[in-house]
Amino acid sequence: MSVLEKNIRYPGVSVVICIIALLLGVVAMQQLPVKLLPDTSSASLKIETLWRSASPYEIEANILEKQEDVLRDIPGIEEMISTAYQGRGVIQLTFADALDKTELLVKVLSKLNNVKEFPLDATPHRLSLSLLPSPWCSYSSVNLRVTQNPLMTIRPWLT
């Protein structure tokens, strides 16, 4: 009898084995030294700008390059990755140290408001902040919608 046939014939045993393996994993993880745990002190910020019917070349030339120029001056940026798609541009910023979320957002928003000659039919920036470096393991994020008018409106909501 193969392993698959035994699992089908005795599903209770399979469930018990999975639970035991899960418990052993939890116990092993709790006994890991702190040095072996991943560093979660960095923050990641994603800036997404939409511009309908614009090619990736137009997005890069008219939006991303201008945003990169003003964002480059923010202290603490460890990595900046920008990607142009059909109709949208995305900039991913990774910060070396997890700064205060409010201070970080204020710095980025003030720099984004300094972008000159922003296309009129492009939608406002959408910011997404994560306290962990990779989005698949983040436990909280904040999205902000920013308008280009002088009376800037910020509406936070949970994702």
Tell me the pLDDT tens digit for each residue of 9-38: 889 999 999 999 999 999 988 887 766 656
95 vs 137: which has the higher pLDDT: 95
Query: If you search the block for the tokens 């009898």, which residue do you land on?
Result: 1
Q: How far apart are CA 99 and CA 41, in angstroms?
A: 9
- Between 98 and 49, where is the model more confident? 49
CATH of 43-158, one of 3.30.70.1430, 3.40.640.10, 3.40.50.720, 3.40.720.10: 3.30.70.1430
Which is more confident, 124 or 92?
Answer: 92
The span from the CA of 126 to the CA of 113, in Å, is: 13
| pTM of the model as a whole | 0.58
